[in-house]
Homo-oligomer: A and B are copies of this chain.
C-alpha cells in the first residue's frame, strides 16, 4: 500500500502534539470578552507530510493538533470565555473535511490514528460544552463537507448561511467509498436525531443539503441570510453566554511549553518518563509523585499554575501517550509504574476534591478524565505494575483500573528497603473520572456485584497491601518476590508474540463493558466499521475510490455485498 514511506514535511522526524498559538499555521484564535473566535484558515502548503496540498480548508493531523491545542487553551487560559465561534476565513467554504490525498496515501495505521485523534478533539469540544460551560457555535458560510460537517456536528449550535450555495454534506460514501467516520454517522442520528431514512438519503448524495430542508431535517439549527448573519451570530453569542454556567473570571493560567527531551531510549519530562525497549516492544511510563503537599489555597494553586503537580502530570502523560501511539507503532505494551510518596498524591487529590467548585480545579479534574479516556482507547496492551516504592493512590490508582492486567507484589523485594507496596483509594476513584461509556473504572470492574464498589469505598484512606488489594478485586494478580520476575517476563514475552490486530479487537471489546453512550459508540461501533472499510480494496486498493479520487479514473468495485 502507498504511503508507507511518506515523508514528514520540513525535515521533521516525529509528529509533535505540542504547539501554541504563536506557531499556528491553520487557525486564528481571538478573544473578545466572553466570546472567542476560532477561525479556520488552513495553509495549503502547511501539510504535516510532503506530497499533498491542504486546499479548501481541508485538514490533516497537523491542522487538528492546532485545533486540539486551541480548545485546551480556551479552557485553561481563558476562564472568562463562554462561547466559542467556529468560523472559516475562506470564501464560500467552511471546511472540505479530511484531505483526500493525505488519506489516500496514508498507511492503515496512520488513518486509524488520525481518526482516533480527530475523534478525541471533537469529543473535547462536547466535553468543554458539557463540563466547562463553553458553548460552541459553528457558523457555516459555504460548503461544510465530510469532516467539515462532522466538526460542526460536534458544536452545540449550527448556523448555516442561506445564500443558495452554503450547504452541509457527508459525501464519503458516494465519493470515496468510506464512512463519515469521525462521529458523523453517529452524531447525525444520535445527537441531532435526524430520522434514519433522511440520514440515509443525506449520506448518499454528493452535493449535500441546504436551506429549509437542512433545518427541517435537523441537520442545522437555523439558516440565516448573509445580510443578517453577523447580527444573528452576535445575538446567539450573547444568548449562549448568558446561559453558560462557566464560573471563571479574570486571568487563566498559561499552559507553558512542556519540558521534554527525546532520545532513542525514551522521553524525559519533568514528572513523567518513558523508557522504550524496542526489542521487547515495551514502553514503560513512570510517574513521579509530588515532592510536596498541595498548595494551601486557590491562590497557591494559581501561583503554581501549569507546574501544579496534577496538571503537569496530566499534560506530560497526555503527550507521552499521543507520541507513543503515532510515532512508536512497534510498541506492543504500555507499562505503567509510579514512584514517590502516596501521601502527597492523596494530598493533591484532597485538594482537587475540596476545591472542585473552582473553575481551574474543575478543569484539572476534567482534563485527567480526558487523559484517562485517551488511555482507555489506546490500542496497546495496558499493564500496571504495583511495586515497592510505587504510589498508585487515588487519581494514579485509575491507571491500575485502566490496565488490561495489573500485577502487585506481595511483601518486599529482597534487598529493597522501600517496603511492600500498597494501593490507596480516594474519592477520585468513585466518580470524577468516568470512562467514555459513562461508568467509572471501578463500576466497570465490579459490574457483577455493585456491592464490591461500596466495599472498596469503605476502604478509602487505607493502605491496601497486595493481599488486601487482591481480595477486594483491585488487581489482577498478586505475586510474591519468588515468582514476580519470571511471571512478568513470561507474560510480556507471550503478549508480544500475539497478533497485534487480534489484541486490538479483544481489548476494545473487553475494556468497555455494559452500557454505551454516543461517545463510546463512536469509538467502538463506528470506528470498527471504518477500520474495516479502510482495509477493503473497494476503498484502498489500486482501483478503489480513495486511491482513484481526483485521478479522472472511476473506481472499480468488487460488487460482492458482505
- Determine the residue in chain B with the shortest Cβ distance to A527: B528
- Determine the residue in chain B with the shortest Cβ distance to A177: B499
Which residues of B have CB within 8 Å of A528?
524-525, 528-529, 531-532
Assuming the contacts A196-B444, A498-B174, A528-B529, asked whether A516 and B515 have C-beta atoms less than 8 A apart, the reply is yes
Q: Does A459 contact B (CB under 8 A)?
A: no
Q: Are A448 and B195 in contact (CB under 8 A)?
A: yes
* A513 CB contact (under 8 Å) in B108, B190, B404, B503: B190
Q: Does A135 contact B (CB under 8 A)?
A: no
Q: Which of A239-284 contact B (CB under 8 A)?
A: 281
- Determine the residue in chain B with the shortest Cβ distance to A200: B404
Which residues of B have CB within 8 Å of A31?
none
* A332 CB contact (under 8 Å) in B329, B444, B561: B561
Q: Please, how many angstroms separate the alpha-carbon atoms of A186 and B508 in the complex?
A: 11
Q: Please, how many angstroms separate the alpha-carbon atoms of A354 and B509 in the complex?
A: 42
Q: Does A237 contact B (CB under 8 A)?
A: no
Which residues of B have CB within 8 Å of A544?
499
Q: Most B CB atoms within 10 A — which of A204, A331, A510, A544?
A: A510
Q: Does A479 contact B (CB under 8 A)?
A: no
Which residues of B have CB within 8 Å of A332?
559, 561
Stretch at the interface among A36-44, A417-425, A535-543: A535-543
Which residues of B have CB within 8 Å of A105?
none
Q: Does A476 contact B (CB under 8 A)?
A: yes
Q: Are A109 and B562 in contact (CB under 8 A)?
A: yes
Instruction: Count this chain's copies in the assembly.
Output: 2
- Determine the residue in chain B with the shortest Cβ distance to A521: B516
Q: Does A414 contact B (CB under 8 A)?
A: no
Q: Does A505 contact B (CB under 8 A)?
A: yes
Q: Are A195 and B473 in contact (CB under 8 A)?
A: yes
Q: Are A530 and B516 in contact (CB under 8 A)?
A: no
Q: Does A411 contact B (CB under 8 A)?
A: no
Q: Does A5 contact B (CB under 8 A)?
A: no
Q: Does A533 contact B (CB under 8 A)?
A: yes
Assuming the contacts A509-B525, A524-B525, asked whether A173 and B502 have C-beta atoms less than 8 A apart, the reply is yes
Q: Does A506 contact B (CB under 8 A)?
A: yes
Which residues of B have CB within 8 Å of A176?
502
Q: Does A198 contact B (CB under 8 A)?
A: yes
Q: Does A156 contact B (CB under 8 A)?
A: no
Contact pattern, A 300-336, Cβ under 8 Å of B = 1, otherwise 0: 0000000000000000000000000000011110000
Smallest distance from the beta carbon of A440 to chain B beta carbons, Å? 13
Q: Does A203 contact B (CB under 8 A)?
A: yes
Q: Does A226 contact B (CB under 8 A)?
A: no
Q: Does A218 contact B (CB under 8 A)?
A: yes
Q: Please, how many angstroms separate the alpha-carbon atoms of A514 and B559 in the complex?
A: 30
Which residues of B have CB within 8 Å of A539?
499, 501-502
Smallest distance from the beta carbon of A429 to chain B beta carbons, Å? 16
Which residues of B have CB within 8 Å of A112?
562
Q: Does A380 contact B (CB under 8 A)?
A: yes
Q: Are B494 and A509 in contact (CB under 8 A)?
A: no
Q: Are A173 and B498 in contact (CB under 8 A)?
A: yes
Q: Are A189 and B506 in contact (CB under 8 A)?
A: no
Assuming the contacts A204-B494, A505-B533, A535-B535, asked whether A510 and B189 have C-beta atoms less than 8 A apart, the reply is yes
Assuming the contacts A380-B561, A516-B515, A561-B329, asked whether A502 and B196 have C-beta atoms less than 8 A apart, the reply is no
Q: Most B CB atoms within 10 A — which of A446, A501, A516, A560?
A: A501
Assuming the contacts A174-B498, A185-B510, A559-B330, asked whether A476 and B201 have C-beta atoms less than 8 A apart, the reply is yes
8 smallest A-B Cβ distances: which pairs?
Answer: A528-B528, A177-B499, A193-B448, A505-B529, A185-B509, A197-B476, A516-B516, A535-B535
Which A residues are closer than 8 A to B by beta carbons? 108-109, 112-113, 172-174, 176-179, 185-186, 188-190, 193-201, 203-204, 218, 281, 329-332, 379-380, 403-406, 444-448, 473, 476, 494-496, 498-511, 513-516, 521, 524-526, 528-533, 535-536, 538-539, 544-545, 555, 557-562
Q: List 11 A-B contacts (CB under 8 A).
A: A109-B560, A179-B506, A204-B498, A218-B448, A330-B560, A499-B544, A501-B538, A505-B530, A528-B531, A531-B562, A535-B535
